[in-house]
Amino acid sequence: MNFELKPFSLVEAANQKCDALLVLVPQEFKPGKDAFSALLGQLQKAGDLPLKAGRVLSLYQPAQAQAPRVVIAGVEGGSAKQWRQAVQAAFASVKSAQPKKLVLAVAGPAGEVGLRAVVSALAEASYVYTTTKSKPEGRVLQKVLLACSDAAALQTAFARACAIVQGVELAKEWANRPANHATPTLLAKAAQQLAEQPRFGCEVLGPKEVAKLGMGAFMAVAQGSEQPLQFIVLRYNGAARTKAPTVLVGKGITFDSGGISIKPAAEMDEMKFDMSGAASVLGTFQALAALRPAINVVGLIPACENLINGRAVKPGDVVTSMSGQTIEILNTDAEGRLVLCDALTYAERFKPQAVIDIATLTGACVIALGAVRSGLFAGNAELGQALSRAGELAQDLCWPMPLDDEYGEGLKTQFADIANVAGRAGGAISAAKFLQGFTGKLAWAHLDIAGTAWKSGAAKGATGRPVGLLVEYLMAQAAPERSAK
C-alpha cells in the first residue's frame, strides 16, 4: 500500500478525486471559511458533528467534495488510542465499498502521535493475508493520501511510520503462514532475500555447522523433527565496522507441539505463531532497509520445529549448551529458552553494545500482562529504559518485570548446572532468569511477546509486534543526519 503525505487544507483534500474521503476532527476544531469547513461548522452548530472517538457521520455525494463517500469521525482527546479508534471506525464505514484510493484529511494539525496512529491503523484495518488461499482476494486499498496542516514538519515521522508498517506486514506474513509453508529452511530463504539489498549480509548455518559450534541445547530441541534446523545470521551494516552492533535474537520455533511434554490439542494450530520473535527480527530488518540508519545490527534466528519422534529429547535428559553449561530438560515444552541460550552465547562474538531477545516464551507472561503489553526483562537498566521509551513512542507497549536473583532458585538441580524450568509461580520471570544465565556481562534485555504476538478467536492472526518498538529503539541509536546514503 502506498502512503503519501501532503500539507493540504480541508478544501484541497475535499477536491481530490478518490473513492472515499475520511475526515478526522480534533476536539479543538474551529471552522474556516472554505466550503468544506463551513459544512463542518454547520454540523458542529447543529450538534451533529461527531467528536467522540469512534463516532462517525457518513455523507453520500456531498456537493463540497469530489469523493462519492465522505465519512467524518471525531478524535476527541487526541491520544494515540483515540486516533486509532477514529480511523478504525471511519474505514469500517467505507470498507464494504472496496475503495482503492482513499484521502484521509485532518481538520487541523495531526502531530506526530496522530500521524503514527493514522498510518498504523489504516494499514492494520486494510491488511489481508492471502498466501495459502487458492483464490486470493488481496488488499483492495492501494493508495492513501494523508492531508494535514502540519505535514511539512512530519516528514521524518511519516517515513518512519511507513517503514514500520512495511516491517510489521512482513512479520505478519511469516507468522501467519502455516508451519508447512514456514519451515526453518523457508525462513532462512526469506532472510537471504532480505540480504540481497545494499548494506545487508546473511549467513545460514545448518546442522553440521551448529554441531561444530557445540550448540547442544538448540540441537536437542530440533532432533525430534525431520526438518533440518537453520541458524540464521542476518546483518545490516549502516555504520563503520568499528561501531559495535546491536544484536536482535528472535525465537524461531516454526511449530511447537511441546515435544514429549505435549501440548493440549485445542488451539495447538496457533503454535505456528511460536516463531513470531523470528518474524519480528525479519520485519525490523525490512524497516532498516527503508530507513538506512547509520548503525550496525545483527539478527540471530535459531529456527527449528519442536516435534516428537524416536529421537526426540526426553524429560530428564541433560544437554551441554554452547556456553559449556549443562542443562537438565525437565519440560520439553520449555524449548524456546533452549534455542535462545545458544544464540545468546553466539552473540558474544560480535562484541555488541546491546543484545535483545524476542520470544513467545511463556504462557505465564500472558497471565501477567494479557495482550496489551509485552513483558520487558532488562539485565541493564539503561537498556530497559530505552526500550520502554521506544515502546511508548511506537505505541507498541511493554512493561518492566523483575529479575531478582531469588526467582532463579527454582532452576537449581542436582543433575546439571541448571534446569530449564522452575515451578509455576513467576514462570515468566524464572524463564528470563534462565536466559540471563547465558548473557555474561552483555547489556541484555528480553521481550516476552507471548501475549502480544498474535490474536485468537475471530480475529486470529499475527500482530507484527514488537517491530515498532524495535525500530524506534534502533533509530534512537543513530543521529538522523548521519543516516547511511
What are the residue numbers of the active site?
Answer: 263, 337
Contact (CB, 8 A) for 344 and 249: yes
Contact (CB, 8 A) for 255 and 174: no
Show the DSSP H helices in 299-370 as ranges: 336-347, 363-369
Cell of 407: 526467582
Q: What is the dihedral of CA 371, 373, 377, 381, to 10 degrees?
A: 180
Distant-in-sequence, close-in-space partners of 440: CB < 8 Å, separation ≥ 6: 348
Which is nearest to 99 in space by CA: 91, 109, 89, 107?
A: 91
Cβ-defined contacts of 264-272 (< 8 Å, 24+): 267/456, 269/178, 270/454, 270/456, 270/460, 271/179, 272/175, 272/177, 272/178, 272/179, 272/182
Which is nearest to 361 in space by CA: 229, 451, 467?
A: 451
Q: Kindly state the DSSP code that residue 53 receives in the 8-state scheme.
A: B
For residue 181, the tally of other CB atoms under 10 A from its CB is 13
Burial of 382 (0-12, 13-18, 19+ CB in 10 A): exposed
Order the strands of the 317-320 sheet from edge to edge: 317-320, 326-329, 418-419
- Spell out a b/e string for 230-269, using b for 16 or more CB atoms within 10 Å of the CB, else e: bbbbbbbbbbeeeeebbbbbbbbbbbbbbbbbeeeeeeee
Q: Which residues, listed in sequence order, are joined to residue 246 by a DSSP beta bridge?
A: 297, 354
How many H-runs (helices) and E-runs (strands) does the chain carry? 14, 20
Cell of 157: 515521522
Residue showing cell 503514527 = 116
φ, ψ (nearest 5 deg) of residue 252 = -120, 50
> What is the C-alpha to C-alpha distance for residues 319 and 413, in angstroms, rounded to an integer?
13
Greatest CA separation found in the chain?
Answer: 80
Q: Kindly state the DSSP code that residue 449 receives in the 8-state scheme.
A: -
